[in-house]
Amino acid sequence: MSQEEILRTPLNALHRELGGKMVPFAGYDMPVQYPAGVLAEHVHTRTKAGLFDVSHMGQVRLSGQGVEAALEKLVPGDIQVLAPGKVRYTMFTNEQGGILDDLMVSQTGKDLFMVVNAACKEQDIAHLRAGLGAGIKVDVLTDRALLALQGPEAAKVMARLCPAAAEMGFMTWAPQTVGGFDCFVTRSGYTGEDGYEISVHEKDSVALAKKLLAEPEVAPIGLGARDSLRLEAGLCLYGSDIDTTTSPIEAGLNWTISKRRRTEGGFAGAATVQKHLAEGAPRLRVGIKPVDKAPARAHTEIQDAQGRKIGEITSGGFGPTLGGPLAMGYVEAAFAAPGTEVQLLVRGTPRPAHVVAMPFVAHRYAISGRTAP
């Protein structure tokens, strides 16, 4: 993809109609906010339901005999254990144990359905084609849009358009008819709230988005609030909090790697992951809470009490629900315990902060499927 060419999702005209402030993001023309603004959109998602266009993300179908075992060569996640209808969060690793991209993969019962980051998708597809082997088919679903409906009232809204979706458990996948349109639905998201990601054919996407927006609980939400929501939820942004230089263990993503995969290895970079698991990672991703009100942005230096550099902020800003600044970043392992006092070098001035446990705002996932009261 050339730098000059700006891509549009099928919802582009709708974003403009809704007054979206459009910015280039990962090669796409995307709404960073709507007239309500980032703060209001953030709060709306935490209290009602927000609709996000995430059609810029890559949707890929993997099929063929032994596709699960083949994918396990590229990711540390346990794919073979996935029962039909289950979803996993995992990542492509490189030979050094760094992260090439993070992704969601669903076992549909006859193939695997994958969602990858927009900025990485071309590279991911090439990586899949090169790494999965001859018998595995990689289909890029370029004719599908992806909508995320997130928030405590998402289930109530979905119950009207798709009663079966309300019964879905967290991290499950199902083909569903939503508002009359054939969709693939997962109960998952990137906000820390209960919610859904809905893959729909591009020809139906605007009509479905309008149907969802017509529900009284639903408002359109831009990328600005998407970022502040995921930061409060302690979720990684690829390219900022995880990249080719961070191992899944340094990133604190140990929970994504099952006992079998830790023991057996068999994925790119397994030696590094196993070493970090056995000996401890040299540095760790942690939550950082500034003591005063000044936000600390990405690339802010983290120091110990004596002013020695011990790490760097990778994402930072203001948390509307938290009501103050928050950040995440990497520190030397000795400083990773919650409560550790550190300093953040903001515009040349050291400012006090603490290492804290994440998430900053508690997750509210629907562990077993239910309709919101």
- Residues near other proteins (CB under 8 A) are 32-33, 37-40, 42, 224-225, 227-228, 293-295, 297, 317-318, 320, 325, 347
**Cβ distance to other proteins smaller for residue 323 or 373:** 323
| Least Å from the CB of residue 227 to other proteins | 8
**Cβ distance to other proteins smaller for residue 41 or 215:** 41
Strands 349-356 and 341-346: antiparallel
| Least Å from the CB of residue 322 to other proteins | 11
| Least Å from the CB of residue 40 to other proteins | 8
CA angle 198, 199, 203 (to 5 degrees): 120
Q: Which two tokens stand for residue 70?
A: 């083949």
Q: How far is CA 8 from the centre of its chain?
A: 21
CA angle 54, 55, 60 (to 5 degrees): 110
**Cβ distance to other proteins smaller for residue 277 or 322:** 322
| Least Å from the CB of residue 21 to other proteins | 8
* Burial label, 8 (beta-carbon count in 10 A; 0-12, 13-18, 19+): middle
**Cβ distance to other proteins smaller for residue 93 or 228:** 228
| Least Å from the CB of residue 35 to other proteins | 11
**Cβ distance to other proteins smaller for residue 6 or 39:** 39
| Least Å from the CB of residue 331 to other proteins | 22
**Cβ distance to other proteins smaller for residue 216 or 323:** 323
Strands 218-220 and 49-53: parallel
d(C-alpha 340, C-alpha 266), whole Å: 36
User: Which residue reads 């990962």 in tokens?
Assistant: 26
Count CA within 13 A, CB hemisphere, residue 218.
Answer: 24
The CA-atom distances, in angstroms, between 315 and each of 68, 240, 312, 332, 350 are 33, 6, 9, 17, 18
